[in-house]
């Protein structure tokens, strides 16, 4: 009986040691920590109007409405993950096409994002647009993103021009520069002597 009793004690001790060892091993095993990185993005809209030659140099300027005042240039930046889901949205108002918009984005390791950027004219503030040349809807997913033009008339200005740029973003770089390009035509319609042959 003493031998059996001693054997049972040894088995219990072995079991206890195994359990404590496993507990220690699992307690020291942590999930891998994902280190996110902040990258700087600079959006430049200056090239959007470069190739357009206006009839009058003033007709490349921002829209100037008697009631609404001088329009601003809105930069819209949309960051999508690999599944096409929106992970970040940034917007800012610039005085015109001669300014750049810089901001920072937080990106995950070993992931590649798609960054879409747009430039469009707007009257009013970002929070309460009084009048806008383009509207963005369905931004939550890349597959549902829709850009709608509200007014195709330029009003002797660059009001109807849409600038677009896209780029792949990852944590492999610290800085990204995006130069926007025109995605629309630039058309002026002039009327003269419209009542001369009544």
Angle at 40 between CA 96 and CA 37, to 5 degrees: 155
| Bridge partners, 68 (sequence order) | none
How many helices, marked H, and strands, marked E, lie in the chain? Answer: 1, 13
Tell me the pTM.
Answer: 0.79
In this structure, are residues 63 and 71 in contact, taking their beta carbons and an 8 Å threshold?
A: yes
Task: Taking residues 38-48, report their average pLDDT.
Answer: 97
pLDDT band at 110 (very low <50, low <70, confident <90, very high): confident
pLDDT band at 57 (very low <50, low <70, confident <90, very high): confident
In this structure, are residues 111 and 168 in contact, taking their beta carbons and an 8 Å threshold?
A: no
The DSSP bridge pattern shows strands 72-80 and 86-94 to be: antiparallel
In this structure, are residues 181 and 164 in contact, taking their beta carbons and an 8 Å threshold?
A: yes
Contacts of 121 (CB under 8 A, 6+ apart): 62, 63, 71, 72, 73, 74, 132, 133, 157, 158, 159, 161
Q: Distance between alpha carbon 183 and the CA centroid of its chain, in Å? A: 17
In the chain, pLDDT over 90 holds for what percent of residues?
Answer: 64
Query: What is the rounded CA–CA span in Å between residue 31 and residue 33?
Result: 6
pLDDT tens digits for range 83-109? 999 999 999 999 999 999 999 999 999
Is the pLDDT at 160 greater than 80, yes or no?
yes
Find, among 163, 167, 134, the residue nearest to 47 by Cα: 163
Is the pLDDT at 2 greater than 60, yes or no?
no
End-to-end alpha-carbon separation of the chain, Å? 127
pLDDT of residue 152: 85
Kindly state the tokens that stand for 106: 């937080």
pLDDT band at 21 (very low <50, low <70, confident <90, very high): low
Mean pLDDT score of the chain: 86
pLDDT of residue 153: 85
Q: Which residues of 154-193 are buried (b: 16+ CB within 10 A; e: fewer)?
A: bbbbbbbbbbbbeeebebeeeebebbbebebebeeeeeee
């Amino acid at each position: 009986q003493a031998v059996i009793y001693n054997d049972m004690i040894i088995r219990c001790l072995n079991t206890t040691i195994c359990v404590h060892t496993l507990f220690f091993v699992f307690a020291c095993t942590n999930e891998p920590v994902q280190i996110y990185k902040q990258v700087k993005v600079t959006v430049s809209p200056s090239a959007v109007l470069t190739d357009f030659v206006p009839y009058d140099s003033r007709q490349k300027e921002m829209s100037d409405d008697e009631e609404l005042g001088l329009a601003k240039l809105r930069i819209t930046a949309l960051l999508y993950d690999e599944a096409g889901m929106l992970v970040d949205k940034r917007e800012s108002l610039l005085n015109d096409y001669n300014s750049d918009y810089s901001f920072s984005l937080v990106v995950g390791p070993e992931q590649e994002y798609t960054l879409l950027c747009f430039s469009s004219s707007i009257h009013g503030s970002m929070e309460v647009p009084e009048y806008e040349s383009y509207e963005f809807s369905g931004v939550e997913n890349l597959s549902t993103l829709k850009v709608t033009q509200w007014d195709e008339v330029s009003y002797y200005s660059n009001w109807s021009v849409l600038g677009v740029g896209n780029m792949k973003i990852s944590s492999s770089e610290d800085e990204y520069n995006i130069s926007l390009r025109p995605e629309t035509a630039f058309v002026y319609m002039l009327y003269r002597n419209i009542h001369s042959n009544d």
